[in-house]
């Protein structure tokens, strides 16, 4: 009896120690904005970690090494989340509270001593400051800091290699330095700081809006070449059989054969497997030029056919899923896969039959020459551009005539 009690005590102690080994924390103190990524810091034993929250796309971190932290992005599609749940090796840990930012609040990451200047970046707004590491950001996972509206640092050394990616997040960069940072970007001198501010245009991030699907309305995947060849061969064979029956059989017998052939052909067409797979239905690109900056938004639409179809989408850079409703997160089994350090690799999903998913890929570049443009035609994609991008101070220049894809060029002043 004593060995059994000892074994139970050891087992309970082990379970409690394991439960304590998985720890969560929030580098941005739990602040987030719907449609953007929020960083979650995870420390635990070796194993896959799954992060989830209400209205969020789950994040899976592959094989977090023991006692090593991973900072991974969690994409919150709605403002409903109040806590984050982590699962690893049967353990479940919850952390909170989370705070959804309101439209008049701005979140600024600062290194020590720069809080006062942060408040000047957004006149008339409520500025919330959070401390960030002097080595900000993690170059392997810049989208992790998507929720930051600005960052104020003492040095530009660590941010220089990823300035383009940080700006694509819509983040203002302020550096406390004597000299203007050398780069392809136009910096503004404000007192002891140099500021780089390139506003974003179009959607602020991931969206839940059925109107974003306009470029895919009425489109269906095309039959694969092999499938089309089978249809032609089958039709020719059916015609030959019908003609043969009419010539070789008596009228009544030929009628019976032709009816039987027709019924059999229809049955085969209904039950036979299709060659249609999930396909890209439509794509388009929006180029917005503002001063020396170029914002590049790529839109793509994929649709399944008769069978549930598994798929994946590259998550390097800044990639957002665009959904018609928040219920599609679960319906599509949508999940963000990350490496052990938390860097995003890809989204995985399974589309039910006859469903469409859209993706928005965003990047920012500096000192890019403007393309040659031609007059654009009215298409479903230009309707999306008119609805999401055109506003006061933004005008359409035309389409990029050197790009075979549909690329609409805009100018912001």
Give the contacts of 195 (CB within 8 A, at least 6 positions apart).
Answer: 121, 172, 173, 174, 175, 187, 188, 189
Residues 89 and 124 in one domain: no
**Tens of pLDDT, residues 209-234:** 999 998 887 666 555 433 444 444 55
The CA–CA distances, whole Å, from 281 to 208, 221, 343 equal: 19, 7, 29
Residue-level pLDDT at 367: 83
Structure tokens at 178: 């004597």
Task: Please check the confidence at residue 2 and state whether its pLDDT lies above 90.
Answer: no
Residues 354 and 295 in one domain: yes
Q: Within a domain: residue 186?
A: yes
**Tens of pLDDT, residues 247-293:** 666 666 666 666 676 776 665 655 544 445 667 888 999 999 998 88
Residue-level pLDDT at 255: 66
For the beta sheet containing 69-76, the strands, ordered from the edge strand earlier in sequence to the opposite edge, are: 23-25, 36-43, 69-76, 56-57
Q: Within a domain: residue 158?
A: yes
Residues 212 and 343 in one domain: yes
**Tens of pLDDT, residues 170-196:** 999 999 998 888 777 889 999 999 999
**Tens of pLDDT, residues 109-142:** 999 899 999 999 999 999 999 998 776 676 667 7
Q: Within a domain: residue 15?
A: no
Q: Within a domain: residue 2?
A: no
Q: Where are the alpha helices (DSSP H) in 192-341?
A: 225-248, 251-271, 328-331
**Tens of pLDDT, residues 59-68:** 999 876 655 7
Euclidean distance between CA atoms 151 and 144, whole angstroms: 14
Task: Please check the confidence at residue 89 and state whether its pLDDT lies above 50.
Answer: yes
Euclidean distance between CA atoms 227 and 9, whole angstroms: 64
Residue-level pLDDT at 107: 97
Euclidean distance between CA atoms 152 and 168, whole angstroms: 17
Question: Mean pLDDT of all residues in the chain?
Answer: 83
Residues 119 and 81 in one domain: no
Residue-level pLDDT at 269: 53
Q: Closest Cα partner for 24 from 71, 65, 64?
A: 71
Q: Within a domain: residue 146?
A: yes
Task: Please check the confidence at residue 99 and state whether its pLDDT lies above 80.
Answer: yes
Task: Please check the confidence at residue 12 and state whether its pLDDT lies above 70.
Answer: no
CB environment 137-155: b (16+ within 10 A), e (fewer): bbeebbbbbbbbbbbbbee
Host domain of residue 321: 207-219+277-412
Q: Phi/psi at 163 (nearest 5 deg)? A: -55, -45
Residues 317 and 405 in one domain: yes
Residue-level pLDDT at 218: 66
Residue-level pLDDT at 19: 43
Residue-level pLDDT at 178: 87
**Tens of pLDDT, residues 346-361:** 999 999 999 999 999 9
Residue-level pLDDT at 184: 78
Residues 64 and 128 in one domain: no
Give the contacts of 368 (CB within 8 A, at least 6 positions apart).
Answer: 289, 294
The CA–CA distances, whole Å, from 391 to 312, 365, 387, 410 equal: 34, 22, 9, 11
pLDDT category of residue 11 using cuts at 50, 70 and 90? very low
285 beta partners: 298, 407
DSSP assignments along 155-194, one per residue: -STTTGGGHHHHHHTT-EEEEE-SSPPPSSS--EEETTEE
Which of 46, 71, 100 is the C-terminal boundary of a domain? 100
Q: Are the C-beta atoms of 277 and 308 separated by less than 8 Å?
A: no
Residue-level pLDDT at 228: 43
Residues 382 and 340 in one domain: yes
Q: Closest Cα partner for 369 from 311, 304, 293, 307?
A: 293
Task: Please check the confidence at residue 1 and state whether its pLDDT lies above 50.
Answer: no
Residues 261 and 390 in one domain: no
Q: Which residue has the higher pLDDT, 364 or 47?
A: 364
Distance of CA 120 to the CA centre of its chain: 31
Averaging pLDDT over each range in 165-174, 258-267, 393-402, which range is the top one? 165-174
Q: Within a domain: residue 4?
A: no
Residues 172 and 247 in one domain: no
**Tens of pLDDT, residues 292-314:** 889 999 999 999 888 888 999 99
Total domain count, the chain: 4
Euclidean distance between CA atoms 200 and 364, whole angstroms: 9
Distance of CA 261 to the CA centre of its chain: 49
Residue-level pLDDT at 230: 47
Residues 167 and 91 in one domain: no
Residues 119 and 180 in one domain: yes
Residues 184 and 84 in one domain: no
Q: Within a domain: residue 13?
A: no
**Tens of pLDDT, residues 236-249:** 565 556 566 566 66
- CATH number, domain at 82? 2.60.40.10
For the beta sheet containing 344-351, the strands, ordered from the edge strand earlier in sequence to the opposite edge, are: 91-95, 84-88, 47-52, 59-64, 335-338, 344-351, 309-314
Structure tokens at 233: 């061969």
**Strand runs (DSSP E) across 273-355, as ranges?**
279-290, 293-303, 309-314, 318-323, 335-338, 344-351
Least confident of 23-32, 90-99, 179-188, 329-338: 179-188
Q: Closest Cα partner for 31 from 134, 146, 124, 175?
A: 146
């Amino acid at each position: 009896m004593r060995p059994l009690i000892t074994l139970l005590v050891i087992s309970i102690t082990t379970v409690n120690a394991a439960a304590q080994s998985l720890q969560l924390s929030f580098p941005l103190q739990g602040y987030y904005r719907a449609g953007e990524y929020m960083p979650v810091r995870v420390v635990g034993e070796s194993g896959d970690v799954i992060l989830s929250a209400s209205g969020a796309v789950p994040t899976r971190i592959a094989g977090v090494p023991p006692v090593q932290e991973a900072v991974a992005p969690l994409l919150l599609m709605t403002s409903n989340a109040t806590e984050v749940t982590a699962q690893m090796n049967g353990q479940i840990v919850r952390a909170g509270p989370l705070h959804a930012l309101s439209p008049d609040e701005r979140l600024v990451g600062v290194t020590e001593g720069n809080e006062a200047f942060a408040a000047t970046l957004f006149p008339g707004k409520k500025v919330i400051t959070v401390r960030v590491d002097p080595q900000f950001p993690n170059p392997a996972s810049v989208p992790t800091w998507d929720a930051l509206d600005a960052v104020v640092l003492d040095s530009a050394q660590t941010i220089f290699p990823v300035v383009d990616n940080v700006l694509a997040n819509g983040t203002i960069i302020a550096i406390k330095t004597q000299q203007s940072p050398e780069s392809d970007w136009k910096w503004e001198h404000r007192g002891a700081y140099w500021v780089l501010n390139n506003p974003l245009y179009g959607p602020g991030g991931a969206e839940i809006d059925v109107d974003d699907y306009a470029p895919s309305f009425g489109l269906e995947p095309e039959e694969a070449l092999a499938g089309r060849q089978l249809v032609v061969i089958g039709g020719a064979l059916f015609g030959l059989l019908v003609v043969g029956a009419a010539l070789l059989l008596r009228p009544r017998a030929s009628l019976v054969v032709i009816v039987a052939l027709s019924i059999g052909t229809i049955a085969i067409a209904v039950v036979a497997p299709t060659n249609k797979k999930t396909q890209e239905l439509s794509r388009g690109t929006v180029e917005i030029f503002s001063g020396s900056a170029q914002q590049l938004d790529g839109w793509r639409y994929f649709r399944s056919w008769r069978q549930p179809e598994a798929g994946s989408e590259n998550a390097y850079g800044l990639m957002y899923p665009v959904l018609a409703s928040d219920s599609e997160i679960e319906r599509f089994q949508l999940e963000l896969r990350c490496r052990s350090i938390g860097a995003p690799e890809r989204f995985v999903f399974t589309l039910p039959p006859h469903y469409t998913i859209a993706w928005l890929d965003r990047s920012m570049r500096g000192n890019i020459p403007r393309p040659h443009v031609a007059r654009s035609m009215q298409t479903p994609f230009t309707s999306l551009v008119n609805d999401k991008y055109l506003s006061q101070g933004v005008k359409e220049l035309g389409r990029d005539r050197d790009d075979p894809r549909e690329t609409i060029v805009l100018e912001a002043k």
